[in-house]
Structure 1
Amino acid sequence: MTNHMQCDLNVPFPHEITPESLKQLELTLYTLIELNYTHVAINKSLTPTMYHQPSKKQKQQMTQQQQKQKDQYNLKNDLEIFFKHFKELEIKFNSRNLKLFTRVTVEIDDPNQLGSLFINLNAPSNPNRFDLVAILPLSEKGLSFLTNNNGASSNSASIDILTFDYSNYFNGFHLKHKTMNGITRRGIKIEILYASIFNMSNQSNLKFVNNAKQVVRCCRKGIKTCIVSSGAKKNTNVRGKIAVESILSFLGLKSDVYSRMLKQNPLSSLLNGRLRVNSYQQTIVSGIDVMEKNIVLENEDLETVNGFVVAKRELDETDEEQSNKKQKI
């Protein structure tokens, strides 16, 4: 691997797929390349209306237009379309030293609406599994998904990142040290998104500063637990290392924290996510497969056997001699 690494783990995939929106996504990736980014995650967002199956009573309360939109939408097909476009992007940017990863961010308002969503997303039989899984709580009840007993035992094992909507004030809930530290102790990273600060609105700037400082304050200043991503839907909203460090400095963080939030912590999230996908209980996998993916395995004399990365085995002279002896016998 190269010594220089710079990560942006949140480049949003467009909600409405059009030639213009896909072109804008590619333009953002080209801009990130010019800013020396090496690892980028394309983020697919899932809102409650996309994965929640309403009851009969809830359907009766919906308008005809809402019912029609719900009946026409198919989550499985939507995810297949996402992975199709992602593979096209991966092929296109493979020669440009930009490693692309898949990410899903599940917006949660009421955990009871989730059903078996996370089980389906992380099923080993699923051919399209995300490298990173994140949640975005829309309320304090949504945040409880990671703090209740159920979340602590089963769901948090499949979560890599906790993120927030920094363009709006947190919806009436305040983060607490005990809650956030309990979440981060499970290896979940807390994400700060800076793109909203460039919306040319003083109000949006205040919201970002207020939300980001609240997150940093509750995460022991973010030394080991925070990552910083762009969340940029336009290439004009992404920034290079120096500009991002200036933002972090404005939030009151010290210079020794910058590199961890820009490099070590995001790579740790990628490692955790890739181990979940490519290993058995996150115990057996080669680090080069986690960071470089399977594209460069052949160049490193490695191969994939039953989902694991191993060195290609070549017969030495003693092996050849033993095999010849067996044949003679």
Structure 2
Amino acid sequence: MLCDLNILFPVTEFNEKISINQLNELKNTINVAEQLGYTHIALNFRPNLTNSNSNSNSNNNNNKFKISNDLNKINPININKDFKEYLNRIKIFSRITIKIDDPSQCQNISKFQQIFDIVSIEPINEKSFQSAISNLEIDLISFNLQERLPCYMKHKTLCSAIEKGIFFEFKYTDFLNNKNRAQVISNIKQIVRASRNRGMIISSGCNSNKPYQLRNFNNVIPILKMINIDSNRCNMMFKDWSLKVLLNGRLRCKSYKQTILISGDDNLIDNKLENNNWNYENLENINNIKQSLNSYKKRKSDTSLNRILKKQK
């Protein structure tokens, strides 16, 4: 199984709907990924969260964004409606990547955890990077590798993130830019050094209208070996670690108190058994049930004195 967890979704607004031309271009890219041998892909929604109404109060509420309470308006990726033909061919999942330059932006991320299969963060400075590791329940941390990293990568910081189940993402499309290729290699080497070759995945990061940016598994391995990553870890970056990212995200939004539904397929990374008529009103009903279960009564322990009293009755 090969994973590509970063194929860009063409829509950048929460309320925007994908057009027919954009959908056809995205399907062409998915077809190319299928021909290259990928079995699990994630459509990456990167919302534009810049504050267009910048008034004099921007110093107090800098870079804060508001999200609608209507869950139907948050996720523009409708897999069951727009990608029905891929049901038995390739597994498609939803992902969101949020740029953060202020820790105050992290307040609304809990809404995304119930809707998207993968939640990713792109920190811009050191404060947002530290806040993402210590305070957020996320699956991936991605950087713009064509620019300098927001801070110096420390071994203790990255290891604490890996122990929490947070992985770091490399995009091999960054190597296609000849101008910033030296900066990309320098950034990746710094992350590899600090992480001790652990907790890393690689994805394409290709645009929906540029399927020629996709590469086969065998074409990407020489690039990783050039950065002193051995072949065993190259396989894990494409397969095991990428599947673990997907599994962690699915467990977060599909389980409750470490309880999951057991079916014929013992694999959460297979979404073909999900209801095709799914809507987020059902999700709200499930959340109401979860809240009502929080106030359950704890069962009293059956002591020896209680057993004697029962026998006497």
TM-score, normalising length from structure 1? Answer: 0.72
Q: Which residue of 2 aligns with 1:122?
A: 113
SS of 1:106's partner is strand
Asked if the contact 1:194–1:208 (Cα under 8 Å) also holds between the matched residues in 2, the reply is no
Using a 3 Å threshold, how does the CA distance of structure 1 residues 19 and 294 change in structure 2: closer, same or farther? closer
Q: Which residue in the other structure is 2:91 paired with?
A: 99
Q: Distance in 2 between matches of 1:75 and 1:46?
A: 16
Matches within 5 A, 1:302-313: none
What's 1:134 paired with? 120
How do 1:253-268 residues align onto structure 2 when only pairs under 5 Å count? 253-268=229-244
Q: Pick from 164, 175, 187: which aligns with 1:197?
A: 175
Aligned match of 1:12 = 8
Tell me the percent identity: 30
Closer, same or farther in 2 for the Cα pair 1:47/1:281, shift >3 Å?
farther
2:174 is aligned with 1:206:
no
Q: Residues 294, 109 of structure 1: CA spacing in aligned structure 2 closer, same or farther, 3 A cutoff?
A: same
Q: CA deviation at 1:174?
A: 1.7
* In 1, Cα distance between equivalents of 2:157 and 2:211: 35
Aligned partner of residue 146 in structure 2, secondary structure: coil
Deviation of 1:25 after TM superposition, in Å, equals: 1.8
1:203-227 deviation line (CA, Å, top 9, x unaligned)? 22122211211111111113xx111
User: What SS class does the counterpart of residue 208 from structure 1 fall into?
Assistant: helix
Shift of 1:104: 0.8
| CA RMSD across the alignment | 3.1
CA distance in 1, matches of 2:179, 2:162: 30
Distance (whole Å) between structure 2 residues aligned to residue 179 and residue 6 of structure 1: 29
What's 1:143 paired with?
Answer: 129
Give, in angstroms, the shift of residue 295 of structure 1: 3.3
| Structure 1 stretches lacking a partner, 5+ long | 63-69, 124-128, 298-305, 308-329
Q: Aligned-pair distance for 1:100?
A: 0.2
Once residues 18 and 177 of structure 1 are traced to their aligned partners in structure 2, the CA distance between those partners, rounded to angstroms, is 44
Task: Within 5 Å, give how 1:125-274 maps onto structure 2.
Answer: 129-148=115-134, 151=135, 155=136, 158-171=137-150, 173-199=151-177, 202-222=178-198, 225-233=199-207, 234-274=210-250
1:196 shift after superposition:
1.7
2:291 maps to: none
- Give the conservation status (yes or no) of the 8 Å contact 1:135–1:163: yes
Q: 1:295 to 1:108 in 2, by over 3 A?
A: same
Amino acid corresponding to residue 111 of structure 1 in structure 2: P
Mapped to 2, the partners of 1:6 and 1:159 lie a distance apart of 22
- State the AA in 2 paired with 1:28: T
Alignment partner of 2:99: what SS? strand
Once residues 76 and 213 of structure 1 are traced to their aligned partners in structure 2, the CA distance between those partners, rounded to angstroms, is 42
AA of the residue aligned to 1:145? S
Consecutive unaligned residues of structure 2, counting only runs of 5 or more, are 13-17, 276-284, 287-313
SS class of match (1:49): coil
Deviation by residue 1:15-34 (Cα, 9 ceiling, x = unmatched)? 46444433332221111001
C-alpha contact 1:48 1:109 (8 A) present in aligned 2: no
Corresponding residue of 1:318 = none
Per-residue CA distance 1:227-284 (angstroms, 9 max, x = gap): 1111111211111110111111111111111111110001111111111111113343
Q: What secondary structure sits across from 1:46 in the alignment?
A: coil
> For the residues of structure 2 that align with 1:60 and 1:176, how far apart are their CA atoms?
31
Look up the match of 2:258. 282
Give the Cα separation in 1 of the matches to 2:145 and 2:261.
Answer: 35
Amino acid at match of 1:259: N
Q: Against the structure 1 CA distance between its residues 182 and 77, is the aligned structure 2 distance closer, same or farther, given a 3 Å change threshold?
A: closer
Task: Give the CA deviation at 1:164.
Answer: 0.9
Contact 1:48 1:108 in 2 (8 A): no
What is the aligned counterpart of 2:271 among 286, 289, 293? 293
Q: Which has the higher helix share?
A: 1
Matched, 1:88 2:50: no
Aligned residues: 266
* Kept after mapping to 1: 8 A contact 2:96/2:116: yes
TM-score by length of 2: 0.75
Q: One-letter code of the match for 2:159?
A: N
Match of 1:49 in 2: 50
SS of 1:227's equivalent in the other structure is: strand
Q: How far apart, in 2, do the equivalents of 1:79 and 1:218 lie?
A: 39
Pairing of 1:30-69 with structure 2 (within 5 A): 30-49=31-50, 57-58=57-58
